[in-house]
Amino acid sequence: MRYKSSCLSSCPVSTYKYKSTCFDSCPVGTFADGSDCTSCSTVDKSCTACPDSTTCTACSNKRYADGSICVKSCPIGKYIFNSQCVDNCPAFTYSYDQKCIEFCLLGTYVDGSQCTSCTDIHPLCQTCSSSSDCTTCSKGNFAYGTTCLSVFPVNTFKYGGACYDSCPSRTFESGSICVDECPSSTYPNGGRCTACNTLDALCTKCSSPSLCTACSSSKYSSGSSCLSSCPVSKYVYNYNCLNMCPGNTFIYGRTCVDECPSGTYLNGAQCLSCTNLDLYCVKCSSLQSCSKCSGDRFAYDSTCVTSCPGNTYEYAEAQCVGSCPDGTEVEGSKCETVKMTNVTMIVVSVVCGVTGLIAIILLYRYIAAKKLSKIRIHSAPQNEVAKRLKVHVRKSFSIVES
């Protein structure tokens, strides 16, 4: 006999013999029979697990263990649980269709320790919560108590495919239906949705009996009323009259705006007129910076002047500047865009002297023909030819590099 790694003449005490091998406990598919292990197939040919010669607990070939035999289906009065046929379903399970299940399926309801089909309430009932409450019926029918109807009964309310004498908890009556939230043109009033036009004939949206949030015909909502204009003590925002402007908006007169309009500047949470700087100022960014004036006036610091002061120059949108910006030059009392004929030298990789020499000759001929006194050379990665060219050109011309 084999036992672990040894060969013995007989199995040791407290071990079991099975097919010339000694085991400390009988392997799966066998049971202890004295000092031997016997195959469960001796109980039933489909039995795969058994504690003794009279009880099978698991079967193969899609069969169920029923006492000492394996059956294709459990007898009437027994239920399938863990592949066995049992007389009663265990605690926390329910019997249904000869099976023990943890939860009742859709289309059934809990009835004591079993699940009962909703069709037992009414043939057309598809879902239900109890023996007296069908919640949905087949297509084209409405649940009402324990029956299914093809039309709504008078004085009932529809909710989720069912009819109710009154709307369920946490819903509201809206006409002949029950809703989870009142439509925008109504407000919750007890258990009903009441039309906003009961507040004011022109009120189209509201949230309570005292607050209309939108009106028709370009009217302004103020409390529970719709007005032609807001009271002077209120601010206007999206046709609402408010005691204060919402966050992320700014005060402009008696209006709330998302950004300050042209001709104003932001001061705290208010948009103030640029005329606070100067009567002629029409564009500004702060109380100290006017950038554009009306009429023939020039913007200078925070004022508008009829002409630029000494040591300043007229520039762009009638501004006075102390020095002309890049790309412009002084001409009299103004900053004018630089007017010159540009010779743009795009330096291509020139490796040997012949190509470079030709480039220099052609450039000089062009300069002489145009009688140029000033040229612009754009900076670029330079090789030796380009560097030499710039040296030669600088000797005769005014160079502006960019």
Q: How far is CA 229 from CA 216, 223, 237, in A?
A: 13, 13, 12
349 pLDDT above the threshold of 70: no
Instruction: Please give the torsion angle defined by the CA atoms of residues 387, 390, 394 and 398, in that order, rounded to the nearest 10 degrees.
Output: -140
- Per-residue pLDDT tens for 118-176? 999 999 999 999 999 999 999 989 999 999 999 989 999 999 889 999 999 999 999 99
For residue 174, the model assigns a pLDDT of: 95
Judge contact between 104 and 115, C-beta under 8 A: yes
Among the listed residues 6, 24, 7, the one whose alpha carbon sits nearest the alpha carbon of residue 15? 24
Helix (H) or strand (E) holding 393: helix 384-394
Please report which confidence band the pLDDT of residue 368 belongs to, taking 50, 70 and 90 as the band edges: low
| C-alpha–C-alpha distance, residues 99 and 115, integer Å | 10
For residue 388, the model assigns a pLDDT of: 58
Domain assignments of the chain as residue spans, ordered by start: 2-72, 119-238, 274-337, 353-401
For residue 89, the model assigns a pLDDT of: 96
Average pLDDT over residues 69-79: 96
- Per-residue pLDDT tens for 163-194? 999 999 999 999 999 999 999 899 999 999 99
Please report which confidence band the pLDDT of residue 260 belongs to, taking 50, 70 and 90 as the band edges: very high
**The amino acid at 343:** V
CA angle 325, 327, 332 (to 5 degrees): 70
Label the pairing between strands 398-401 and 374-377: parallel
Q: Which of 34-43, 252-261, 312-321 has the lowest mean pLDDT?
A: 312-321
For residue 259, the model assigns a pLDDT of: 95
User: Burial level of 134, CB count in 10 A (0-12/13-18/19+)?
Assistant: buried
76 pLDDT above the threshold of 90: yes
Q: Which of 5-19, 93-107, 331-345 has the lowest mean pLDDT?
A: 331-345
For residue 206, the model assigns a pLDDT of: 94
Please report which confidence band the pLDDT of residue 347 belongs to, taking 50, 70 and 90 as the band edges: very low
For residue 340, the model assigns a pLDDT of: 52
SS3 279: coil
Assigned CATH for 119-238? 2.10.220
286 pLDDT above the threshold of 90: no
For residue 58, the model assigns a pLDDT of: 96
393 pLDDT above the threshold of 70: no
| C-alpha–C-alpha distance, residues 368 and 359, integer Å | 14
240: tokens are 């609402």
For residue 346, the model assigns a pLDDT of: 37
Q: Which of 123-132, 219-228, 380-389 has the lowest mean pLDDT?
A: 380-389
Please report which confidence band the pLDDT of residue 289 belongs to, taking 50, 70 and 90 as the band edges: confident
CATH number for domain 2-72, candidates 1.10.287, 2.10.220, 3.30.420, 1.10.3210: 2.10.220
Average pLDDT over residues 213-235: 94
Most confident segment among 246-260, 297-311, 335-349, 371-385: 246-260
For residue 371, the model assigns a pLDDT of: 45
Please report which confidence band the pLDDT of residue 352 belongs to, taking 50, 70 and 90 as the band edges: very low
Judge contact between 214 and 205, C-beta under 8 A: yes
For residue 302, the model assigns a pLDDT of: 82
396 pLDDT above the threshold of 50: no
For residue 380, the model assigns a pLDDT of: 47
Q: At residue 51, what are phi and psi to the nearest 5 degrees?
A: -85, -20
| C-alpha–C-alpha distance, residues 345 and 378, integer Å | 7
Q: How far is CA 209 from CA 103, 128, 185, 265, in A?
A: 46, 38, 12, 40
